[in-house]
Chains A and B, each alone.
Chain A
Amino acid sequence: MNPARPSSPPPGAPPPDERPVVLSVRDLGVRYGDHVALRSVSFDIHQGEIFGIIGPANSGKTSLLRAINRMDEFVDGMSVSGTVELFGRDVRRVRNVYALRRRIGVVFPLPVGLPLTVYDNVAMAPRLAGVRDKATLDETVERCLRRAALWDEVKDRLDTLGSLLSGGQQQRLTIARALSQDPDILLLDEFSIAVDPVTTMRIEDVLRQLRDEMTIVLVTNLVQQARRLADRTAFLLMGECVEVVDTEQLFTGDVADERTRHYVEGRFG
């Protein structure tokens, strides 16, 4: 089965390679004490592209995301080398790390409905950014919940706790929360491992709609998910970036490295 690729760029838009670079990773390395999690990874991600990152467990996918929004600050012993540039600015040198993180939406593998009301979950980021006006907050909450395909299910119970929603709803709540930051780039870390297939498909639809407005980095352990969504895909293996290819090449076998072909064909990982 070879589904039509709804992720292909709209007609008339320049091909991804010619669009401006949003995120540029150069020679990125991550260590936890003596353990090397990522070594010398480099790639560019272009505006409006969905960039897939595939690879087996322990290949350094999550470490890569952490390095992008500087979450290493919160992990004892994690050290980052090399550079990550967002819109040409080295994220390590950004003084206001909080403003940096607000530009970057993150969706974690396990749904995290904060033990606040649904409303407060989505209103939190705008509030952190200083928005106090009730009407603005109302508008943001509704818009983000609609975009995350959750509004219809929760519009009558915005004051229930986000942590009491079902797993699939919580994951969409997480996406609404990430959107409420009005991010330039959205990082998704294996968002579908704890949600049902129907929710997964709904979220994938959401991502397809978002691709015109923001750049999306999709870390996934599902090769087929990368195929459905990603324009280009990087294959990470044991901390190394084996190669970055147009996603379709993964499935036509038009790859430079044997290991990539083996992984995609399910021979390991």
Chain B
Amino acid sequence: MFSSTPLDARNKRIQNRVRILFGLMTVLLVLPVLLILGLLVYKGAPVISLEFLLTSPTEGMTAGGIMPALLGTIWLVSVALLVSVPVGVAAAIFLSEYARDNWVTRVINLAIINLAGVPSIVHALFGVGAFVLFFRFGTSILAASLTLGIMTLPVVIVSTREALQAVPHAFREACWAMGATRWQTIWRVVLPNAVSGILTGIILEVSRTAGETAPIMFTGAAFFLPYLPVSVYDQTMALSLHLFVISTQVPGVPEALPFGVALVLIALVLTMNATSIVFRTVLRRRRKW
């Protein structure tokens, strides 16, 4: 009664092959990550020290530390977040919770998708035109961060909107029926349950912002600066640009130095991600349905 027919046997064979094939793909996916990290640690670890993190580059950037660049990247990412998170989250809330589905919102959505597809060098040129020249911010942290912020805005909007839409519609209806306004519903029920998803978008944004070179190259990041930035109107060094500079523009840099810089950059991003993930997990544990 339960004996298998040739068709059953064939289906089972195919099923097994598919599983093995897709499993291999998954392993392939992890492999480059491990190789990159392994290489960076292997080649870069020797130069990493507290001194490396806390001193400025010396001898024409062929020696010394990376403190100004590290600090500069933190500056750029923070200011970019201050720009893109409020704007992006607010826009996503409007699009998801308030806007009706009509041609205007469809055009806006199309614009957001297109914004995500614009190459970063084009964002850089926009940043130069708009922030450096038109708004007269000069080459500064402000101009660079605004450029980065606009570049990452689509990521924040799309991920926030998805997080909001993952909250069941029935929750909203129940609140509205109780006489809650849209905002009361969003504030008391929708947002608390979407926070973890919104954070995921911000994590992605942080990683991308910290690593980008092109958008900051012409808008606020400096080749080398003998001083540290004290306000958003100053220029700054940045890890990503520093890595580019010492890898390609400066002769006589010891091989380990760029790898050290890259390792710090990756570690910075991973630390920020890890923090957000922990935060997210804690939030998610509190909310369940």
- Residues of chain A having any CB pair with chain B under 8 Å: 69, 71, 74, 76, 98-102, 104-106, 108, 110, 112-116, 124-125, 128-129, 161, 163-164, 174, 177-178, 181
Contacts and interface: CB of A to CB of B under 8 A. Distances in A.
B230 interface: no
Given A113-B289, A115-B171, A71 B176 contact: yes
B117 interface: no
Interface stretch (B60-68, B108-116, B177-185, B220-228): B177-185
Given A76-B100, A76-B101, A163-B289, A125 B170 contact: no
Contact of B288 (A105, A163, A181): A163
B189 A116 contact: yes
A43 to B, nearest CB: 22
A128 B289 contact: no
Nearest to A70: B176
A110 to B, nearest CB: 6
B177 A69 contact: yes
A19 B285 CA distance: 52
A129 B179 CA distance: 8
A71 B188 CA distance: 19
A128 B180 contact: yes
16 contacts: A69-B177, A71-B173, A74-B173, A98-B180, A100-B179, A101-B177, A105-B177, A106-B174, A106-B177, A108-B177, A110-B170, A115-B171, A116-B188, A125-B179, A128-B184, A174-B174
Given A102-B178, A115-B287, A161-B289, 6 more contacts: A74-B173, A76-B101, A98-B180, A98-B181, A108-B177, A163-B289
Closest 10 CB pairs of A and B: A163-B289, A102-B179, A101-B179, A106-B177, A98-B179, A112-B174, A125-B178, A115-B289, A112-B170, A128-B180
A235 to B, nearest CB: 25
A209 to B, nearest CB: 22
Contacts of B175: 114, 124
A105 to B, nearest CB: 8
Contacts of A178: 178
Interface string B173-209: 1111111110010001100110000000000000000
Interface in B145-181: 170-181
Contacts of A101: 176-179
B41 to A, nearest CB: 42
Contacts of B179: 98-102, 125, 128-129, 181
Given A101-B177, A102-B178, A112 B171 contact: yes
B284 to A, nearest CB: 11
A76 B174 CA distance: 17
B48 to A, nearest CB: 44
B174 A164 contact: no
B132 to A, nearest CB: 43
A124 B188 CA distance: 9
A222 B169 CA distance: 26
A74 B176 contact: yes
A211 to B, nearest CB: 21
A255 B70 CA distance: 83
Nearest to A102: B179
Nearest to B189: A114
Interface centre among B171, B176, B184 (most CB of A within 10 A): B176
Contacts of A112: 170-171, 173-174
Contacts of A181: 178-179
A115 B181 CA distance: 18
A7 B23 CA distance: 63
A177 B178 contact: yes
Contacts of B173: 71, 74, 108, 112
A124 B171 CA distance: 13
A115 B288 contact: yes
A60 to B, nearest CB: 18
Interface in B14-43: none
Given A116-B189, A161-B288, A163-B289, A124 B178 contact: yes
Contacts of A164: 288-289
Nearest to A111: B170
Contact of A115 (B176, B177, B193): B193
B176 A128 contact: no
Nearest to A101: B179
Contacts of A104: 177
Contacts of B170: 108, 110, 112
A106 B184 CA distance: 18
Contacts of A174: 174
B131 to A, nearest CB: 38
B52 to A, nearest CB: 47
B174 A108 contact: yes
A101 B170 CA distance: 16
Determine which residue in B100, B177, B184, B193 has the highest number of CB atoms from chain A within 10 A of its CB, and name it.
B177
Contacts of B287: 115, 161
A74 B170 CA distance: 12
A105 B177 CA distance: 7
Given A76-B101, A124-B188, A163-B289, A114 B177 contact: no
